[in-house]
Each structure stands twice: as structure tokens, then as C-alpha cells.
Chain A
Amino acid sequence: MAANFWTSSHYKHLLDQEDVDMVNPLDKEKGITLEDFKLIKMHMANYILKLAQQVKVRQRVVATAITYMRRVYTRKSMTEYDPRLVAPTCLYLASKAEESTVQARLLVFYIKKLYTDDKYRYEIKDILEMEMKILEALNYYLVVYHPYRSLSPLLQDAGLNDLNMTQLTWGFVNDTYKMDLILVHPPHLIALACIYIASVLREKDTTAWFEELRVDMNVVKNISMEILDFYESNRMFTDERINSALQKLSLRP
């Protein structure tokens, strides 16, 4: 990994929001809207998390897996790459990349335990085949920087490293993976946005501290607003709507 985020492949391949929000023409043909697209990705992020809790891997593996999944769909369609297979395969690949290898048969076992729906029930062979397709889709760029890495030093520097603030900001960072922020913004800015929200919520005055940092506060505030908007609209993400979006993928054009 580059010692320096700014020279890494992660930095070079950051995208603009409009690129991330582009629904693949094949998916559009199936009637997938931008809202459906976001819903499916969020659902798959939750699926990865559920599966990860079963196989007991650390948060970093989950974050890398979700990032892989989101990167895949900036280049491939959900029609060709079924999210219900891509999600567990990304977890499988991330476990290897992050040196916490999970066996494919264990994943398959827990998939069957978690979902009775046949559409989720893929076999080991399917995961192994999809692993190679995902490697290609990612163009073999597997390094991901995460906000977690800079969170502790930043909190410490701001004098906010008590347990309460640490847990709160960590939770916010976890939730950012339900959005596409990691594909668009440098991870330390995402971490700063989470600290900003937490400090406002806990009524901590961090104005002077933020002013001392050479960062564009407009960007930090914009990221914060995106996170808050997500929480605002989160109530509308019902299972019904998610199933309806996934149903469209199953339809023939």
C-alpha cells in the first residue's frame, strides 16, 4: 500500500458523484431507477455486514468488501452481476485481501442459514467464479483506505477521545458505508465529517480545532449533510421497496 493516500490507486480512482450515480443502461432497461440502484447497494451492504457477523471477521474486512461491491457497480450492471452473489463474493475477496481468509464453504453455509429465498442461495462454485470476475471488474486494484484509520488520531488531537465520542463517531463511520461516500471522498474527510456531526450532537465546541486544520470545511460540511440526509430518508427504506427493486432485476426486459 502506498504510504501516502495521495499516491495510491484509491485516490487516483476517486469518482465524482454523478459517475457513481450512473445507472447502467442494462439495468435501466429493467426499470431500475437511481433510487432502486441506491437501495439495492444499501441492502447489499447490510447483507455483507450480516454475513460478516456470522463468520466473525473484523470491521475493516466488512468496509473493504462493501467498497469492492460499490466499485464493481460503477463499472458493471446488476443485471449481469447479480448483487446477491456479488455481495458475499466481495466479502470473500476482502477477507483474503485483509489477511483474514474465510472459507467459501463457510460463507455458503451461513448464506443458507440467513436466507430461505432461493435467489440468494449460491454454491461454492458460483462464488469462486464470481471472485475472478470481481477481480477483473476492479482491474486488480484491491487497496482501500478507510476512515477508521485516521479516526483515533483525529479524535485524540481534538481532545474528544473519550469512550462516548469514540463509539459515536465509529458508529457514524460504519453508517457511511451504506452510502457511496468512500468512492467519492478521501477517507480522512469522511472521518472529519463524522467527528463534526458527533461534536454538534454532543455540543462540543470544535470550531477552533477545525479552523486549525488545512481542510475545506465546505467539503466536510457537505459530507456531514449527506450523512444526515441519509438518516432522514432511512425510514423510507422498507423491505417492501428493497424487494420491489430486486424484483425488477429478475424480470426479463
Chain B
Amino acid sequence: MGDGSGSRWSRAEWVQQYDLLGKIGEGTYGLVFLARTKSPVGTPSKSIAIKKFKQSKDGDGVSPTAIREIMLLREITHENVVKLVNVHINHADMSLYLAFDYAEHDLYEIIRHHRDKLNHSINQYTVKSLLWQLLNGLSYLHSNWMIHRDLKPSNILVMGEGEEHGVVKIADFGLARIYQAPLKPLSDNGVVVTIWYRAPELLLGAKHYTSAVDMWAMGCIFAELLTLKPLFQGAEVKATSNPFQLDQLDKIFKVLGHPTLEKWPSLASLPHWQQDVQHIQGHKYDNAGLYNVVHLSPKSPAYDLLSKMLEYDPRKRLTAAQALEHEYFKIEPLPGRNALVPCQLGEKIVNYPTRPVDTTTDLEGTTNLPPSQTVNAVSGSMPGPHGSNRSVPRPMNVVGMQRLPPQAMAAYNLSSQAAMGDGMNPGDISKHRGVPQAHQPQQLRRKEQMGMPGYPAQQKSRRL
């Protein structure tokens, strides 16, 4: 996996594997490009998103964000987690490129499209399918001792046309971490999780993460899928590494009421609790009621699931595995693998917009057309399936709708996890040992309470 030589991108060997279509995004880490694999005639090419990492700000080599993302994604394989296809290095400018399977949509764009263009809510089937798949991926991550730490709509991708149409992919593992007790204090890493999706224990200065921070973010995302607007839209304070986020807490308390020591016993031990006592508890929070905000009946399974995800006490908060078993997913409409197909056969298909592609930017980030690309002389667009004006929605073929009855859920879950860890066996390291079967000759046999993390004989609680 990975290689790279040549001073300009056009001369780097690995670039020859792809047809570059253009830039599709940028962030603090660097740029993202859309490319297609070059395939022999008759075999389909694949769309690939290539993420170029900037050098660390302090000129300190490969960014720790990139290292973390590579490290984790090389170990995991799951249908609902984005797949790292390749890693490339350009030694000349010391840049690093990660190649992922390309996903045409993300929840941020889907929500925005419904709110700003269609002006109507996302259908129940789509909400339920998106949520179920998202929880399925998250449950896999948590069972593999990983916390994502930055779940938000823009980091949740949805596949476009093709065999994985409508499949959810959790992406952006730049802030993810492996959690083996004891975790390093939060303050050592700087605060993570975009503020609107940040769990109250983090806002109140908790020093250690648990997987429950991801479940709070999931609750916020679920509510946003239902209402098309962020549930807790606070203004961020950026004074220090972990400032007291008064406005964000205020937004949460207005909806959920003020937490009490009775409901959340460890509350008093949180560093910012005293500031909370001074600044917030004096306010009267007439509990608006979550059900009023999300327009759900308090007796509905959807409301029950949401309220359990937004439990103040992280130890009482629902886990991803528990959420998958919730009644909400067992009633009609049942969730399916293609989240984008309409609920009823007569229902209108939503044509979500595709990502705009800046065809003038090359892999160096400079704005000129790459020499290896030919421009369509008539329309001025790039050749191939991503041609024409990319900001205009294109119709989507409806793939045969797949629904999952409750008893099939477990099978879906197992089959999607069966390939774990086997996804990217490198070409040049031979496998000296296959993955052992149920009984390991070298495995410790007994005593569940021994708690050897990482070894299969023991079941260890995922909450720290």
C-alpha cells in the first residue's frame, strides 16, 4: 500500500493510477480531491476521494491527525465505516495522501437540502435507516475500543449510485482514539467534538472520555434528522484549551432541564460544576420538553430512543449496541441497507445534489488544469461520469429496495462485521498466521473477571 516518487504530482508514480477530476473540499487538515481509478477496458473504474494532508503547522512532519487516521483505519473493516483504500506519499514535497472509497453525499448536505431546497422533512424510513446504520458502525467501533470523538452530520457519509447506494459510512477519524483504561486526561489533548454535538460531561470539564460522548452526538444527530436543524446550537467560546462553554450548556438545559445530583451523582466532581453553580443554576429552566422541540409524542419509540441517547449521566446513557436493539427499529418502516430509497413505492424519489468539483485545482492545490487531463472541448467539463455541471442534481436510479425484518437484523450485523481486520492485507507482507477459529490454542481459558483487554476470552465492560 502506498508509494510515491517524483517532484510534481504529475510525475509521482502513484498518481498514474488515477484520473484526477478535481477538488471537492478542504479543511484544516488539507484538501480533498475526487479521482477515478484507471481500469482496463471492460472493468468498471471506481470513484476515489483523495485526502491530501498538509504538513504539520510547526513543520513537524506527518500530522498526528493523519497518523491517527491511518493507524485506526488500517485495522478496521466494516460496511458502515469509510474504507481506506490506499496511502500514498510524495517524498519530494513530503506530502501524504489517503485514498478512500468516494461517497457522494453526507448528512450535512442531505439535511440542508431538505431544509433549504425541499422545505420538508426526511421520510421516516430514511431517518431510521440512516440512524440504524450509523449505530451499527458506531457499535463496531466501540466494541473495538475506539471512540470517534467528532461525530457530526458532515462526518457521516452516504454512498451514491452503485452497489452500496444509500449505505452510511462513518468518516474522519482524525480525532478518533483507542481507549484502554486509563485514558489520558482530556486536557492533554485539547477538547474535541464540535461544540453543538459535545456531551455535557465534556462541557463540564470531564478529564476522561468514554464511548458515551459519541452516543450524545448520535442523539443530537438523530434530533437534527427529525427537525432539520441542530438541536443545541450554542456559541463557542475559544479563550483557552478547555473554556467553560456557558452558552452551549444553556442551550442544552433549556431543552432538557438542569441536571441534578440525584440523576447524575458524579456531577459534583466535574471541574466546571462550580462555575455552573454560579452562572447557570440561578437561571430558571422551565423544561421546554424535548418532545416539544422534536415534535414527537413522549410515548413514541422514537422519543424513547432519543431521550435515552441524551441521558445526562454518561453511565446511564444508552450504548450503541443497546440502541440497535431498541423497539424503534423493530416497528414499521423497518430500516434497510439503502437509506435513500423512498419509503412507499409511490413516494417521490429525492435527488440529492452531488458535490461540486473544482476542476481547476491539481493535487498540489495550485489552480491550473493537470496536464494529463483532457478538457471536453465542447462543454469545458472533465471527461467521464463526473462531467457536466456537478452542482446540478442528477437523477438517481432506485436500487431494489431492501427491508430488514427484525430477526434479520442480527444476521445483517454479523455479516457486515465478519470481515473485520481482513480488509487490507498488504501485498508485500505475507500472512504467517491466519485468524484463529473460535478456540485459540494460545488463548487464556477462564475467569471472565480477569479482564485482559484485547484478548477474546474475557468480556470487558466498554464503559470506563
Contacts and interface: CB of A to CB of B under 8 A. Distances in A.
Nearest to B439: A214
Interface stretch (B237-245, B271-279, B450-458): B450-458
Given A132-B94, A140-B1, A145-B454, A2 B61 contact: no
A93 B67 contact: yes
B284 interface: no
Contact of B61 (A3, A15, A127): A127
Contact of A9 (B58, B75, B87, B450): B75
Interface stretch (A25-33, A149-157, A172-180): A149-157
A150 B72 CA distance: 21
A141 B429 CA distance: 11
Given A4-B456, A142-B71, A104 B60 contact: yes
Contact of B455 (A4, A92, A136, A216): A4
A153 B450 contact: yes
A145 B75 CA distance: 12
Interface stretch (B126-134, B142-150, B317-325, B400-408): B142-150
B448 to A, nearest CB: 11
A62 to B, nearest CB: 16
A132 B91 contact: yes
Q: Is the interface of A mostly helix, strand, loop or mixed?
A: helix
A14 B433 contact: yes
A143 B455 contact: no
Contact of B452 (A132, A139, A150): A150
B461 interface: no
A153 B61 contact: no
Contact of A104 (B61, B71, B422, B454): B61
Q: How large is the interface on A (under 10, 10 to 19, 20 to 34, 35 or more residues)?
A: 35 or more
A97 B66 CA distance: 10
B64 to A, nearest CB: 4
B144 A154 contact: no
Nearest to B431: A12
B428 A139 contact: yes
B444 A136 contact: no
Contacts of A92: 61
B1 A132 contact: no
Interface string B296-319: 000000000000000000000000
A1 B72 contact: yes
Q: Is the interface of B mostly helix, strand, loop or mixed?
A: loop
Contacts of A135: 2, 62, 70, 87, 89, 96
A219 interface: yes
Interface stretch (B24-32, B177-185, B227-235, B247-255): B177-185
B426 A2 contact: no
B436 interface: yes
A5 interface: yes
Contacts of A97: 67-68, 71
Contacts of B177: 99
Interface string B51-80: 000000011111010011011101110000
B435 A12 contact: yes
Interface centre among B60, B433, B443 (most CB of A within 10 A): B60
Contacts of A93: 62, 67
A192 to B, nearest CB: 9
B446 interface: yes
Interface in A1-59: 1-9, 11-16, 19
B432 interface: yes
B122 to A, nearest CB: 33
B89 A139 contact: no
Contacts of A124: 59
B335 to A, nearest CB: 25
B442 interface: yes
A7 B445 CA distance: 18
Given A140-B87, A219-B442, A3 B145 contact: yes
B447 A149 contact: no
Interface string A125-167: 0011101110110011111010001100110110000000000
A250 interface: no
Interface in B9-65: 58-62, 64
A189 interface: yes
A6 B432 contact: no
A36 B71 CA distance: 32
Interface in B385-419: none
A216 B442 CA distance: 6
A145 B143 CA distance: 17
Given A7-B420, A127-B61, A139 B431 contact: no
B429 A7 contact: no
Contacts of A201: none
24 contacts: A1-B144, A3-B453, A3-B454, A4-B456, A6-B435, A6-B440, A8-B421, A13-B429, A14-B433, A15-B432, A16-B432, A92-B61, A128-B94, A135-B89, A142-B71, A149-B454, A150-B452, A153-B451, A154-B452, A188-B444, A188-B452, A214-B440, A215-B443, A215-B444
Q: Which 4 A-B pairs have the closest CB atoms?
A: A214-B445, A7-B421, A142-B71, A128-B61
Interface of B: 1-3, 58-62, 64, 67-68, 70-72, 74-76, 87, 89, 91, 94, 96, 143-146, 177-178, 180, 184, 189, 420-422, 425-426, 428-429, 431-433, 435-436, 440-447, 450-456
Interface of A: 1-9, 11-16, 19, 75, 92-93, 96-97, 99, 101, 103-104, 124, 127-129, 131-133, 135-136, 139-143, 145, 149-150, 153-154, 156-157, 186, 188-189, 212-216, 219
Given A96-B67, A140-B2, A143-B71, 12 more contacts: A3-B145, A93-B67, A96-B68, A103-B60, A104-B61, A132-B91, A135-B2, A135-B62, A140-B1, A145-B454, A154-B452, A215-B444
